[in-house]
Amino acid sequence: ALLQHGRDLGEQSSLPGHEYLWSMVDARLHLAAGDVDGALALLDEAERSYYRSPIPNVRPIDALRARVWAIHGRLAEAQRWVRARGLSVTDELNYLSEYDYITLARILLAQAALEDDAQARQAALDLLARLLAAAEAGDRMGSVVEILVLQALAAAAADDLPAAQAALTRALHAAAPDEHVRVFVDEGAPMARLLRTVAGRAEVSAFARRILRALEDGDAAPDDAPDRAGVPGAPALVEPLSARELDVLRLLQSELSGPEIADRLVVALSTVRTHTKGIYGKLGVSNRRAAVRRAAELGLL
């Protein structure tokens, strides 16, 4: 109901890209429910309705589709995507392509699992180590958590339980402040097994048990609450953000500075500051990080 309400609001306000956003959110919900074919069909819809804005799309549809293929055993299709993108584990990394390279690591780990390929697993681990260093340097905690989760699962698959527990404990510490639950729940039974090995540790026990309950109940709140209402104009805001404020907001979650955001949007720095002030006021926050966190809670990012 919330998802449909968000779609209706997007249509009423004629917000650019609302059909794309709706399809992406609905695809994630279908994935969470195990409907792979339905999710892939919705990704196709999202691709057809994609709105190209001045904001770079750091989570491309084709990369998400490749993840779905890899997770569900369609390795050949995922590997074709890697070749089409020309990705290599030795490439230079940057923020704009980070999602692609995390996807590459996921595909390598799927290859390692399906083909018992130790070389692919090691290549994935080497890539993940480089990705982690870059994400930590950029303070991109969402990426940090996902990378640590993958390192933990890769180590567990290689029967290196101490390394798996160490990576998972770091992931839990990093995820707890912003209550990232979905990234763990999406990994299913392997994550549940690994979580049970650290759930007794005092420093992470409460959060680990919460994720285990979500895995057992099929409920990943609060991370999936924004997804259900994941379109601009959801009713949690008294005054919705303008289209330009949404453009600025999406760049605020990047590591770009104020002048770099102004350059990207081809506007004056003073204009960016005005929009930023408006964003803070509407979200009820006083700084950039809080704005990004609040926007994520509302499904605006």
Q: Which CATH architecture has domain 243-297?
A: Orthogonal Bundle (1.10)
258-265 and 243-252 are packed helices; what angle lies between their axes, rounded to 10 degrees? 130
CATH 1.25.40.10 occupies which residues in the chain?
Answer: 57-228
Tell me, what's the pLDDT at 188?
Answer: 87
Tell me, what's the pLDDT at 4?
Answer: 52
Tell me, what's the pLDDT at 194?
Answer: 94
Instruction: Quote the DSSP letter at residue 255.
Output: S
The number of angstroms, rounded, from the C-alpha of 171 to the middle of its chain's C-alpha atoms is 14
CATH class given for the domain over 57-228 = mainly alpha
CATH 1.10.10.10 occupies which residues in the chain?
Answer: 243-297
Spatial distance between the Cα atoms of 204 and 102, rounded to a whole number of angstroms: 25
Amino acid at 247: D
Tell me, what's the pLDDT at 227?
Answer: 32
Spatial distance between the Cα atoms of 265 and 55, rounded to a whole number of angstroms: 8
Amino acid at 40: L
First to last CA, the chain: 20
As a residue count, the chain comes to: 301
Closest CA to 114 of 85, 78, 84: 78
Each residue's pLDDT tens digit, 148-175: 999 999 999 888 999 999 999 999 999 9
H or E element in which residue 197 lies = none
| Token reading at 60 | 């491309």
In order along the chain (301 residues), what is the average pLDDT of each group of 10 residues?
48 60 84 85 89 77 94 91 97 95 96 88 97 95 96 93 96 92 90 91 86 75 34 45 86 86 87 87 79 80 74
Residue pair 28/253 in contact by the 8 Å Cβ criterion? no
H or E element in which residue 216 lies = helix 205-217
Its pTM stands at 0.68
Each residue's pLDDT tens digit, 18-37: 678 788 888 888 887 778 88
Instruction: Quote the DSSP letter at residue 169.
Output: H
Per DSSP (E only), the strands in 122-255 are none
| Token reading at 207 | 């959060």
Alpha helix stretches (DSSP H) within 218-252: 224-228, 243-252
Sign of CA dihedral 288, 289, 292, 297: negative
Each residue's pLDDT tens digit, 112-146: 988 888 899 999 999 999 999 999 999 999 999 99
The number of angstroms, rounded, from the C-alpha of 198 to the middle of its chain's C-alpha atoms is 24
Closest CA to 46 of 59, 35, 32: 59
